[in-house]
Amino acid sequence: MKIKICGMKNAENITQVLDLQPDWMGFIFYPFSPRNVEEDLAYEIQDFDWGHTNRVGVFVESDLAFILRKAALFDLTWIQLHGKYDLSLIKELRQQFKIMKALPVATTYDIQASEAYQDEVDMLLFDTKSALHGGSGKRFDWSVLNTYTTAVPFLLSGGLSPDCLEDLIHFEHPAFEGIDLNSGFELSPGIKDISRLESFVSNLKFV
């Protein structure tokens, strides 16, 4: 099971999380998020040993110039898109980056939106639908994913915490690639609880 740890914004905390060797680490570039990343962080982390951890930039209806600036500054290899984007912009970004498209989910009807991206992205991220962009800290009913039949792999997101361990171990879907961890493992916005993460990750890494 692959693991993405998102919402990082503190250099020391980033080094601690890197020791857990996640597959992805996410940086949020959205001014209305308490986990919004300032550009100074790019210089603090540029000499870190990233190993196999991919850096993901999380964007909410940002324009191309903004995305490309942050991608160059933070040496991103993946772009995660929330909200509405023209497929033409996604195609352009995909010439340089891997693309992860986040889709808000509440019912089986929401899963149908994934069909528009089946040939356009490298990964989908199913998150709990809420009134605002970004995480709600709540889980959606994973059973609605039984209606997802396209080949694009996906990550589960939304309200994941140590309490989800048994459910994740027993969750099965042919396109299920891994999980996205954020607020359920935080001491405060953007600061991860390393002991909770380490325990959780060690139990899932070989599932």
Query: Tokens in use for 31?
Result: 């001014």
Is the model's pLDDT at 16 over the cut of 70?
A: yes
How many domains does one find in the chain?
1
Query: Which CATH number is 118's domain given?
Result: 3.20.20.70
Percent with pLDDT over 90 in the chain:
92
pLDDT of residue 133: 60
How many CB atoms lie under 10 A from the CB of residue 102?
A: 24
Q: Taking all residues of the chain, what is their mean pLDDT, rounded to a whole number?
A: 94
Domain encompassing residue 112: 2-204
Average pLDDT rounded to a whole number, residues 104-118: 94
